[in-house]
A and B are shown apart, each in its own frame.
Chain A
């Protein structure tokens, strides 16, 4: 080892020590500031905030739905979709109302749209999980449209409905997606 090697080793050693020291210091500071479970609370808080805001937006829709005024609820929802096109919750409400109206194919298609916009609806770890409702609609749809496919194998609407059923089944099955 000549003087240049010794100098290089010393420099590397110094930089390693300084780096480890700085990282350790930062982590210690972070942990001191860190309140256990704060991230989960933060996420939960963000959901709660969102849900509070949503409650106001969908207040009228809920009222109309409870009174059985489905056509009016749909009209109201269409207005909300226009004002807030990124709100996936509109599609959840729409799917529920369409289901109540007996329009199962449209309801399933609308659930699909909601899940495509926000996969949290089929994620049990989130407070917006509605997988059980979707699963119920999907089970009903699989039976209904499976039967109809046997009777009308070339019907495009039936094909589309089955496509939506299969999509939601795959999403409900989980996996790396």
Chain B
């Protein structure tokens, strides 16, 4: 009886993720970016003045909603467990490089699905790259890769990220002086705050319960032919396709797609980096937020790495534009792949010897 119930909750999570992703874009978020963890992390970094691109500076309530939805649900259901201490620095840098990969593609794995669901065929190369990266990660897992070292931590540490989310949310609601909100470009495009927050909290709670994760779903299938999370992802995709069609957000093709480019090779490599990095730290950017909310201190460290990544992709001109990836972006992807593969090799247990 237990397995069918897990499948159900995974599918319900998928329904909300797909529906929410399209609805929030329809209600005002940038096109195809109803939910995009990497874009939103970049926005938050700008709002905190970690970069100076005003067009990308806004405190996206969706991010706070994911964390707080997960946190509250975990707390109420007794699933709030504070653990950590597993290679925090490596997770920090992996979080950073995952955002680098997302910035070169222009979107996180969830946005990749939403772009595909809206008919954006440039996301096909991204999907193939992500699957390839996950497949490589699974090879390393089968070859003995394990970060390990995770242990119980003082309970207080589990509250740090949710508390940070509350502070950010209050800063947005009270419009505090140290927050900078852009008045044009994507920063000025947002769905009504209560809708964004509520939808994100529901998705966060459901994802906490189901463990929904883009890379995790594909990994489980490649590793053990286990389809629970994959079914949730496929549900999210098909629900997004249906609502994109219903709400007039669907446009099939490659050339006129919002925030996209035609450098498919770099898209493939960038998302391969995201796939591999996410497998090594056990979760896509969305999953890191959910885990940080449920008391996973390591995921909190990865989230901080993502935030710094969200700032530096602008400061160092790593992010792509409609014109394609920048030189810096290409180099950053290559460095990220070197880092990820190096880490995967270093943490392999060979013949019983740990890293």
Contacts and interface: CB of A to CB of B under 8 A. Distances in A.
A40 B188 CA distance: 12
A170 B260 contact: yes
Interface residues of B, number: 32
Contacts of A172: 256
A167 B55 contact: no
A13 B42 CA distance: 34
A175 interface: yes
B323 A116 contact: yes
Interface in A102-125: 116, 119-120, 123, 125
A125 B36 contact: no
Given A166-B256, A170-B255, A125 B106 contact: no
Contacts of B354: none
A39 B183 contact: yes
Contacts of B261: 170
A175 B187 CA distance: 11
A27 interface: yes
A175 B256 contact: no
B196 to A, nearest CB: 15
Given A39-B183, A167-B322, A176 B176 contact: no
Interface string B320-351: 01110000000000000000000000000000
A177 B261 CA distance: 11
A172 B30 CA distance: 12
Interface string B66-80: 000000000000000
What interface size band does chain A fall in? Answer: 20 to 34
Interface string B247-288: 000010001111111100000000000000000000000000
Contact of A176 (B184, B186, B256, B257): B186
B323 A167 contact: yes
Contacts of B256: 166, 169-170, 172-173
Contacts of B259: 170, 173-177
Given A175-B30, A175-B32, A177-B106, A126 B184 contact: yes
B192 interface: no
B276 to A, nearest CB: 24
Contacts of A116: 321, 323
Contacts of A71: none
Interface in B185-228: 185-186, 188-189
Interface in A1-55: 23, 26-27, 30, 39-40, 43
A119 B56 CA distance: 12
A30 B178 CA distance: 12
Contacts of A39: 183
A128 to B, nearest CB: 10
Contact of B107 (A167, A169, A171, A176): A176
A27 B184 contact: no
A116 B188 CA distance: 19
A40 B184 CA distance: 11
A166 B262 contact: yes
Contact of A125 (B33, B184, B251): B184
Contacts of B31: 173-176
A125 B189 CA distance: 10
Given A176-B30, A177-B186, 6 more contacts: A27-B174, A170-B259, A173-B251, A176-B106, A176-B107, A177-B185
Closest 4 CB pairs of A and B: A175-B259, A175-B258, A173-B258, A169-B256
10 contacts: A26-B177, A39-B183, A43-B183, A116-B321, A123-B185, A126-B184, A170-B258, A173-B259, A174-B189, A176-B31
